[in-house]
């Protein structure tokens, strides 16, 4: 398995991986709408010649915080084709994605997801950093990983995802 940046020729396969993994097209349409925006990151997992996994990061903002606040990215979606799940592909996508976000200059990452899965990578409940999600989510599902200690020191309150997240229904 190899993880690499998305190429233009991958677009249809990425759409399919997200649609199949989630059993609906919402996430696939979301990625299509976010693709090409500034400060995004899209990685694929390739087995043989086939794309079997995908991860996407896009910028988030903080309500009532200076627009010059540090770059923080939202992780999601992350998708692996069902027949390739439970083989470590999602883990490798997250690990390499986090490292590439760090290299891009991101100071932190937020995620909505399984608390047990994301805790393995150092994500903690966002409320421990006085952050809350703009969406109603289960307790502990909104998590954050500071890529630099104290990166979120001046960032508190409501975290907003890109408007495309709400526009994909």
Question: Residue 69's pLDDT is what?
Answer: 66
Q: Where are the domains of the chain?
A: 2-165
Of 153 and 111, more confident: 111
pLDDT above 70 (res 135): yes
pLDDT above 90 (res 169): no
CATH topology of domain 2-165: Aminopeptidase (3.40.630)
pLDDT band for position 167 (50/70/90)? low
Element housing 31 (H / E) = helix 26-34
Question: Residue 14's pLDDT is what?
Answer: 98
- Tell me if 107 sits within 8 A of 73, measured CB to CB: no
CA-to-CA distance for 99 and 4, rounded, in angstroms? 12
Of 62 and 15, more confident: 15
Question: Stretch 28-53: mean pLDDT, rounded?
Answer: 95
pLDDT above 60 (res 24): yes
Tokens of 128: 């421990």
Dihedral over alpha carbons 102, 148, 91, 162 (to 10 degrees): -70
């Amino acid at each position: 398995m190899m993880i690499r940046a998305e190429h233009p020729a991958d677009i249809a396969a990425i759409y399919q991986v997200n649609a199949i993994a989630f059993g609906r097209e919402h996430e696939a349409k979301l990625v299509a709408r976010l693709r090409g925006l500034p400060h995004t990151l899209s990685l694929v997992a390739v087995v043989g010649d086939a794309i079997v996994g995908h991860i996407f990061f896009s910028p988030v903002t903080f309500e009532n915080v200076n627009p010059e606040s540090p770059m923080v990215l939202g992780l999601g979606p992350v998708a692996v084709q069902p027949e390739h799940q439970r083989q470590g592909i999602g883990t490798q996508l997250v690990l390499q994605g986090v490292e590439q976000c760090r290299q891009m200059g991101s100071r932190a990452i937020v995620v909505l997801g399984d608390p047990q899965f994301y805790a393995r990578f150092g994500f903690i409940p966002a409320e421990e950093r006085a952050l809350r999600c703009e969406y109603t989510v289960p307790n502990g599902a909104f998590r954050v990983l500071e890529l630099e200690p104290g990166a979120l020191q001046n960032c508190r309150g409501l975290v907003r995802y890109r408007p495309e997240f709400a526009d994909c229904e």
